Structure 1
Amino acid sequence: MISRLTRRTALLGGACAFLSGCAGKFRSYDGPAVTRLRLFKKRRLLVVEGRERTLRTYPIGLGFAPVGHKQFEGDGRTPEGSYVIDRRNPDSKFHLSIGISYPNTADVAYAAAAGRHPGSDIFIHGGPRRGVDPTDVRDWTAGCIAVTDRQIEAIYAMVRDGTPIEIYA
């Protein structure tokens, strides 16, 4: 029969292992402040910039219809234009995610004029499943920007809400 001490030790060890796995996705960042993001769709590149220099660059995956500006819900396109990072999702089904302020006023007006919905919930997020590099599985999202889980951990730590993001064709 297993002693109470052995059982408690096993349960405590299991709980610690579980919690350390959860906490592992949240990193800290003490480098220069991020002043803006620039995303180049054709080059599949996200550039993280500070006041004086480029801080990091990341390869990206896009929406399943990568050419052109997102106009309507379900079109599979990634937006183009000027937006800001406006929210964070630590419980994203894609590991971690940071939200982009799409749709803006112009996006809403364009879609409304066509009698359509512009779509919403555009994020920079991690991969679809563990062990798959989302930048190798190009253009699989519904309009979001995909990076690896390790990359979104770094981006999530570096980028603050309110950071401007320019998305270029």
Structure 2
Amino acid sequence: MKMRKSIVALLVLSMIIGLMSFSVYAATVRKVTTSNYTPQQTEPATRIYVSKTSKELTLIADNKVIGKWPCSLGEFSANGTKQKQGDRTTPNGDYYICVRNDKSAYHLSLGLSYPDKAAADRGFEQGIITQEEKDAIYTAIDKKVCPPWNTALGGAIMIHGNYQKGVPTAGCVAVSNDVMDIIWPYGQLGIKVSVGP
């Protein structure tokens, strides 16, 4: 009988120690909140970078460079970013592909989401576009669709084929037809395209 009481006492003591340990653990876990946790940021699986300085387009997929190729840009792209329709300048910025055209006059083409919100803000402040046009651009960008291309800011900026060395575009990014064939399957709607130095 004494042995049985000793075993019961040990079991009860073990349960008490276990509950106390769990309480300490639970209190520690409660202190960890999402407000002090920052998830690791990763780059999108597929993206395109256009360097205006080197006139080169780089395609990246699964964090590996698929290729780098020469490209033509707008005639006056070295002067900065696109300001308005007809200025023959390729815009600087981060865009996404908003349209794919396999019946393009330039072999194949991928449309960029220009004008973006920054261009809309600048255009409105300078009196180039109306409040309604600015709002329409904002709405399109928020919905991840093509913004209006018919404002005074210009639009229909494409990555397309028919590259000719030394021949500038009206503002698009031109690569060879062979390169466009490589880019085409990667150039799905929504992928990031950065245009910069």
Alignment of 1:63-74 (within 5 A): 63-67=74-78, 68-74=80-86
Larger radius of gyration: 2
The AA in structure 1 aligned to 2:165 is D
Aligned length: 130
- Whichever structure has more helix as a proportion of its residues is 2
Match of 2:161 among 126, 131, 138: 126
Q: Indicate if the aligned counterparts of 1:60 and 1:147 stay in contact, CA closer than 8 A.
A: yes
Give 1:135 shift. 4.1
After TM superposition, the structure 1 stretch with the greater mean CA deviation from structure 2, 54-63 or 34-43, is 34-43
In 2, the alpha carbon distance for the partners of 1:44 and 1:64 equals 12
* Superposition deviation, residue 167 in structure 1: 0.8
Runs of 4+ aligned structure 1 residues displaced above 4 Å come to none
Code of the residue aligned with 1:150 in structure 2: it is D
- Bigger mean CA offset, 33-42 vs 159-168: 33-42
- Please state which structure has a larger fraction of its residues in strand: 1
For structure 1, list consecutive stretches of 5 or more residues without a partner in the other structure: 1-32, 128-133
Are 1:148 and 2:176 counterparts? yes
RCO (CA 8 Å, sep 6+): is it higher in 1 or 2? Answer: 1
Residues of 2 paired with 1:135 and 1:92: CA distance? 17
1:161 alignment partner, SS class: coil
Provide the residue aligned with 1:11 in structure 2: none
Matched residue SS, 1:158: coil
Alignment of 1:27-46 (within 5 A): 35-46=46-57
- Between the aligned partners of 1:155 and 1:52, the Cα distance in structure 2 is 15
Asked if 1:108 is matched to 2:120, the reply is: yes
- Map 1:15-34 onto structure 2 (within 5 A): none
Question: Which of 55, 79, 83 is the matching residue for 2:95?
Answer: 83
Percent identity, aligned pairs only, is: 32
